[in-house]
Amino acid sequence: MGTVLDFIVPAAYFIAAVMFIYGLKAMSSPVTARRGIIWSGVAMAVAVLVTFIHPKVEGNYTLMVVAIVLGGGAAWLSARRVAMTDMPQMIALYNGMGGGAAAAIAGVELLKLTSGAVTLDQVTLILAVLGGIIGAIAFSGSLIAFAKLQGWMKKSWRFTGQQALNAGVFIALLMMGGVLTFFEPTPEILALFFLTALVMGVLMTVPIGGADMPVVISLYNALTGLAVGFEGYVLQNPAMMIAGIVVGAAGSLLTQLMAKSMNRSLSNVLFAGFGKADEGSEGMAASGEMKAIDATDASIQLAYAEKVIIVPGYGLAVAQAQHKIWELTELLQARGVKVSFAIHPVAGRMPGHMNVLLAEAGVPYDLIYDLEDINAQFPTTDVALVIGANDVVNPAARKDTSSPIYGMPILDVDKAKNCIVIKRGQGTGFSGIENLLFFEDNTRMLYGDAQKVAQGLIAGIKSLG
């Protein structure tokens, strides 16, 4: 029986790993994303079920079942109830759970080592320690990111000497990791090691500004994947190794993409402190004044336009206006208006946030364009309709060298013939930077909740016959 299991278990883990890779590949396109999620879910189910017959699992079935029921039940309920506006913090929370699980695996294996229950070769021991560091940092850092997104914590918290403190804590963490790796470890050192790693994750994340949350989420996603891959090697579990490495690599590429989309180098993201745009210089003062428009006049502009580009932002998510915006789009299309949607890579609070919202409303994928594919179309666009977006459409990124976002690639909505901005009020938005777009001669401000405003636009267009 043991010989059969020795073949079945690794084979099942390998099949699960292949399914993970296929699922992740499918998630790269909105068209196949749902299929990718299903494949990845099936892969996870296979990996969990085969663990019950793993030769090294000795009588812990009750605990395993209890953990699966409690964890799965909590995940099912929370996923069913979460609002789309809260999806970023849910992603951050669940991502943290993955890092915490990897750190827990490292803790268990290292605790066995301190008690003499097992022996580990040097490579395995190093990977266990590294996985513990990375997983614990990803866990506590993701919890802080969740608290910021949920509004429980100030967007950024900085103090004099913060970088020096962070460096000191990190050096201490590495020294304890060295003790665990090359000297006789003790339970006390092990406990202090994980406590320091958790503190490091908190210290890394508290200075991060809210506007940089897409980078934070993708970075901790990469760290979680890396930690899982390392601990997969420790357990000699090919599914964990392959899935962790793939997720780590994908998360790293996504982090670089997010950093580039905000005009930051990866080293700047990691070491210079996130969210500098939240504080300090706000750039040059805007000249002129904001010019308001009502829903009736805006609907006339839209109805008689030949080409309209809609730019969704977090305000659309807050108002849950995606369904009304799609209804508005269908009305415009029925009148012969060409309508497209423009998505900035860091629009919303997480990568792909706007794509998910539009997909939920049934917007066809072929109407949705990324920044680099649609920017050239704005000069020939009759109306650019901006819904709750701020930094990603701010011309200060091109015009104001003193602006914190100078050099950041933006959607060139200011180059459209007319621009209508749907916004609740005259505030500066999430990052606190004045948006020069609001003061442009071709811009009109349509104030109000995005869903109610969209309803007004729909009524206005219908009244035109």
- By annotation, the residues acting in catalysis are 391
- As a whole number of angstroms, the distance between CA 159 and CA 203 comes to 11
Write the CA distances from 114 to 123, 188, 373, 378, integer angstroms. 17, 10, 56, 64
What number of residues does the chain have? 465
- Please check whether residue 251 is in contact with residue 219, taking contact to mean a CB–CB distance below 8 angstroms: yes
Helix 238-261 and helix 213-235: axis angle, to 10°?
160
Q: How far are the Cα atoms of 6, 45, 102 from residue 109, in angstroms, in the given order?
A: 22, 24, 11
How far is Cα 413 from Cα 408, in angstroms, rounded to an integer?
A: 14
**DSSP element (H, E) containing 79:** helix 61-81
Residue 254 CA to residue 260 CA, distance in Å, equals: 10
C-alpha to C-alpha distance for 358 and 346, rounded to whole angstroms: 15
| Structural tokens at position 151 | 């509004």
Using only C-alpha atoms, the chain has a radius of gyration, in whole angstroms, of 25
Q: What is the dihedral of CA 90, 105, 216, 175, to 10 degrees?
A: 150
Host H or E run for residue 92: helix 87-115
- With b for 16 or more beta-carbon neighbours within 10 A and e for fewer, the 77-110 pattern comes to eeeeeeebbbbbbbbbbebbbbbbbbbbbbbebb
CA distance 389 to 421: 8
Q: How far apart are CA 360 and CA 355, in angstroms?
A: 9
CA distances 310 to 59, 277, 291, 350, Å, are 58, 26, 20, 19
d(CA 299, CA 288): 25
289, 383, 391 from 212: Cα distances, Å = 29, 29, 11
Which structure tokens are listed for 271?
């070491």
